[in-house]
Amino acid sequence: MNGTTKGQEVLRAEHVSKSFGQVTALRDINLTLRKGEVLGLLGDNGAGKSTLIKILTGFHQPTSGQLYFEGKPVTLRSVSQGRALGIEVVFQDLALINEVNVYRNMFLRREPVFGGFLGILNDRKMREQAIEQLNRMGVRIPSVDVPVAKLSGGQRQAIAVARSVYQQAKVLLLDEPTAAMGVKESALILDVIQRLKQEGEVGVIIIAHNYAQIFDVCDRVNLIEGGKITFDKPTAETSIQELTDIVVKEYRNARRDLTA
């Protein structure tokens, strides 16, 4: 069924569903991610993409179903637990602290410290490593000493991605990584993803509703509609046109049902 058998399975979701009270966000999600693979998870607004990401990272817990990490069943109770396994995420809201400077944001929750339980921040080390990482990724910002509130949307996004990439992740989830960016800025992020793909160490899931932008970088695309995955093909066997047709058809059907 899959044209690209790139490596071992690293993350799998089986029959995952999620309800918030009366509202069912996800119905029956089956999804597999392999090492070194870039999976595009596409869907319209409100299709359940962000809920799924939050389940895969441990932010939410599924109502039913099972997650497998490297073949073993896991129950993620918190984001920290997911991160300890190597599941990194760049949320749509970026999870940056506006009031805090760039390098401290990049090391948030993983700060190098001294003084044991006192936890005195090693600002010099954070600053040096942040500069090194941003330069390596080709991210240009005026200074790492300014609060992130001073940066543009694209720069903030780049910092959030750089932060996650820096953590030696096994699974990297990107929620709408190019949403706030211009063409040049999103090229920067897509370059980074391309580089990760070549290195082949990390499985990447990109969530997007503008699939034209990310189509080229993905090995495989899944389409999520109404809380279900309705389409799963390697990008080599599909096209932007086909995806567009599916989405439009779905929309027309829904309208017909409504008017009928």
Residues that bind another protein (CB under 8 A): 59, 78-80, 83, 89, 91, 93-100, 104, 108-109, 111, 113, 118-121, 123, 131, 134-135, 138-146, 149-150, 152, 154-155, 182, 184-185, 187-188
Least separation in angstroms between CB 176 and another protein = 14
Least separation in angstroms between CB 86 and another protein = 13
Residues in the chain: 260
CB 206 within 8 A of CB 6: no
For residue 175, list its beta bridge partners.
207
Least separation in angstroms between CB 67 and another protein = 18
In this structure, the number of other CB atoms found within 10 A of the CB of residue 233 comes to 17
Nearer to another protein (CB atom), residue 118 or residue 260: 118
In this structure, the number of other CB atoms found within 10 A of the CB of residue 122 comes to 15
Nearer to another protein (CB atom), residue 78 or residue 194: 78
CB 232 within 8 A of CB 66: no
Nearer to another protein (CB atom), residue 180 or residue 246: 180
Nearer to another protein (CB atom), residue 25 or residue 134: 134
CB 38 within 8 A of CB 218: yes
3-state helix, strand, coil in the chain (%, to 5): 40, 30, 35
Least separation in angstroms between CB 98 and another protein = 6
